[in-house]
Amino acid sequence: MNILDPHGPAASNLAALTVWVLVVFSVVAVVMWVLIVWPALRRRGTLAEHAPAGSGGGQAWILVGGLIVPFAILAAVFVASLNSIRGFPLHGDHAMGPAEIRVLGHQWWWEVRYLGEPPQQFPTANEIHLPAGRPVDVDLVSGDVIHSLWIPGLHGKVDLIPGRTNRIRLQADRPGIYQGQCAEFCGEQHAHMRLVVVADTPADYVVWKAAQRGPAITPHTPELLVGQQVFLSRPCALCHAVRGTPAQGGVAPDLTHLASRRGLAANILPNDRAALSAWVTGAQSIKPGARMPNVAQMDGAEQRALVHYLESLH
Ligand code: CUA
């Protein structure tokens, strides 16, 4: 998460502006310190040896150093910022087509919807896949409070605001994994609202999309069947959806292909068996205040079956 290590056009644009502003203000800081230290070190005898300084003079320093130079520097920074902004699509720009992806901020996770005609669309969560080398337009909206999407390697911060749609153009120049984070305080688990962007090769992206579109696998062992029954008969199915089953909850992450994702709980946990077990039984001890309750009414065998079922959702 380094803004000076850009991997796409939007982030490169911002990184160039950042470096330029940093250099300008470093020069200003050095000049200021020289002007402060130099008179302090320049000893020219004591007050007794000199007549009092005249009241005239010095106005040129104030006019040039206090007005003209700051105005010129701030104007230059302003123009450079305007120039950077031109590299970003503007809100409501009619030249832009429909977005390919819609990201919805929730307390405290990211809903990601791939748009298009009905067979094309599918939901996922906390992980965005992009084809490397191609721009992808993303709509940003919020389901509750203001969030801010920040993927430093690819783009600057852009707010997700209730009742309004913001648009960004994401592009990753090369395949890779880019970390993101909510950058606007949105409640007690704000710091644990992370997102991962995976830039695939174009071929991998097609394969990933085709796999994500499909329904969940059908349980093929007795234990997985038990696990699915646990999932459907406990509160899980009220909030989560697993496409291809009666679980159609729409207020929590879609779990149809949970096992294909890199992280759990908005990427604060790795997606492995230990973390999955901990999360399904003790979400409140891991993310206090999260909307997911602790699911207590399960015995050990049911919990194992549930975790195995969730692990099978590739
Ligand atoms: Cu969402 Cu901070």
Average pLDDT over residues 158-173: 94
For residues 127 and 101, is the Cβ–Cβ distance under 8 A?
no
Enumerate residues lining ligand 1, CB below 6 A: 105, 108, 147, 182, 184-186, 190, 193
Residue 109 has pLDDT above 80, yes or no: yes
For residues 121 and 158, is the Cβ–Cβ distance under 8 A?
no
Report the percentage of the chain scoring pLDDT > 90.
Answer: 77
Average pLDDT over residues 106-130: 93
For residues 33 and 25, is the Cβ–Cβ distance under 8 A?
no
- pLDDT category of residue 93 using cuts at 50, 70 and 90: low
pLDDT of amino acid 154: 96
- pLDDT category of residue 188 using cuts at 50, 70 and 90: very high
Summarised one tens digit per residue, pLDDT across range 30-44 is 999 998 999 888 877
Residue 90 has pLDDT above 70, yes or no: no
How far away, in angstroms, is 129 Cα from ligand 1 center?
21
Average pLDDT over residues 54-82: 88
For residues 2 and 15, is the Cβ–Cβ distance under 8 A?
no
Residue 56 has pLDDT above 90, yes or no: no
Q: How many Å apart are CA 35 and CA 65, to the nearest integer?
A: 11
How far away, in angstroms, is 302 Cα from ligand 1 center?
34
Atom of ligand 1 nearest to the CA of 191: 2
Which residues make Cβ contacts (< 8 Å) with residue 265, sequence separation at least 6?
109, 192, 275, 279, 283, 286, 287, 290
Average pLDDT over residues 104-120: 91
How far away, in angstroms, is 270 Cα from ligand 1 center?
20
What does R_g of the chain's alpha carbons equal in angstroms? 27
Atom of ligand 1 nearest to the CA of 190: 2
For residues 127 and 262, is the Cβ–Cβ distance under 8 A?
yes
- pLDDT category of residue 58 using cuts at 50, 70 and 90: confident
- pLDDT category of residue 55 using cuts at 50, 70 and 90: low
How far away, in angstroms, is 267 Cα from ligand 1 center?
13
Strand ranges in 132-209 using DSSP code E only, listed in sequence order: 136-142, 147-151, 155-160, 166-170, 176-182, 194-200
pLDDT of amino acid 69: 93
Average pLDDT over residues 288-295: 88
Q: Which residue has the higher pLDDT, 48 or 131?
A: 131
Nearest CA to ligand 1 atom 1: 147
pLDDT of amino acid 16: 94
Which residues make Cβ contacts (< 8 Å) with residue 228, sequence separation at least 6?
219, 245, 309
Question: DSSP of 187-204, one letter per residue?
Answer: STTGGG-EEEEEEE-HHH
Tell which residue, 243, 216, 9, has the closest CA to residue 130: 9
Residue 284 has pLDDT above 90, yes or no: yes
- pLDDT category of residue 89 using cuts at 50, 70 and 90: confident
Residue 52 has pLDDT above 80, yes or no: no
Summarised one tens digit per residue, pLDDT across range 190-223 is 999 999 999 999 999 999 999 999 999 999 999 9
Lowest mean pLDDT among 57-66, 103-112, 133-142, 244-253: 57-66
Sign of the four-CA dihedral 308, 252, 265, 286: negative
